Amino acid sequence: MPPGTAARRPPDPERIDLWCAFLADIDAARRWGEYPALLDAEERRRGQRLRMSADRRRHLAARALARTVLSRYAPVAPGEWVFEPDAHGRPRIRAPQPAPVEFNIAHSGELVVLAVGPGGALGVDVEALQRRTDTVALERYFAPAECAALGALGAEARRRRFFELWTLKEAYLKARGVGLRLPLGGFAFDLAEPGALALSFTGAFADQSARWAFAQLTLRGQYVVAVCAERRAAQSLELAVHEAVPLAGQRRVSAQLSRAAHFTVAEGGPAASSGG
């Protein structure tokens, strides 16, 4: 049986799986040479056009992770998935149809993350806390209430809170599928209450905050990740976190949400398996 297809199972309708691939783990497993054969011709061309080696590594890891993980949910070999870009250039499943799952990819630094759900809108974002970014300059794009909350914090706490807000906003925009057509200042997250968050809208692109579930967590102390998923009625969702090396193995990891709305950590202890 092709690698990555041994543990096929349909997606849980009440769970989002977060799959994490750390590039250092791929280095240790020495699997890079196997990944180009999984990609289609256009994916390989896109990777070759990237000038920076770090970008080429992330591109290759992201495509290998998506293909091997998706094959855990459907009887499709990793190399047989067919993708097409959406209006914002993000990959979506073109074949097989109907698509068996919804997925979204993000990467930062040495980490690639992939969120997989049973259907409905889904977005994920990740930021490396040590990323060299002029966070103060970027804050001007936030809602006034967010800027005021940031201004009340010391420098270190303010920088971390910036990344917490940024990843939540990006995950929401990706789930909505609108990109920056919805200005970052048109909606605001209130993170004042420990462990919780609240979403409100200030612009013309109003939405219902109860429509969405949010989860945020920190991975290996270095990366802030946010997941946004569409809810069905009053449904609450579970988040299961996995670490994976494509074509080498994966394991369920214990995770603690730093803040959430309508999300909990999925029950069940860590488990490991070989293959995709």
Q: Which residues contact 43 (CB under 8 A, 6 or more apart)?
A: 59, 63, 83
Region 178-207 average pLDDT: 86
Res 268: pLDDT: 63
Q: What would the pLDDT profile of 244-273 be if each residue is shown by its tens digit? A: 999 999 999 999 999 999 999 997 654 445
Structural domain for 134, as ranges: 15-265
Q: Is residue 195 part of a domain?
A: yes
First vs last C-alpha separation in the chain: 11
Confirm whether 29 is domain-assigned.
yes
Distance CA 62, CA 258 (A): 25
pLDDT at residue 191, rounded to an integer = 97
- Does residue 275 fall inside a structural domain? no
The answer to the question of residue 192 being in a domain is yes
Predicted confidence at residue 180, as pLDDT, reads 60
Q: For the chain, what's the residue count?
A: 276
What is the domain-level CATH number for residue 196? 3.90.470.20
The answer as to whether 7 is a domain residue is no
Is residue 41 in a domain?
yes
- Please indicate whether residue 131 or residue 23 has the higher confidence score (pLDDT): 23
113 assigned to some structural domain: yes
pLDDT digits (tens, 9 = 90+) for 33-91: 999 999 999 999 999 999 999 999 999 999 999 999 999 999 999 999 999 988 777 88
With respect to residue 114, please indicate whether it lies within any of the assigned structural domains. yes
Percentage of the chain beyond pLDDT 70 is: 92
Q: How many domains does the chain have?
A: 1
Share of the chain above pLDDT 90, in %: 78
Q: Quick one: pLDDT at residue 3?
A: 46
CA distances to 82, 107, 108, 134 from 167, rounded to whole Å, are 28, 11, 11, 15
29-38, 106-115, 138-147: least confident range = 138-147
Q: Which run of H or E residues covers position 29?
A: helix 23-29
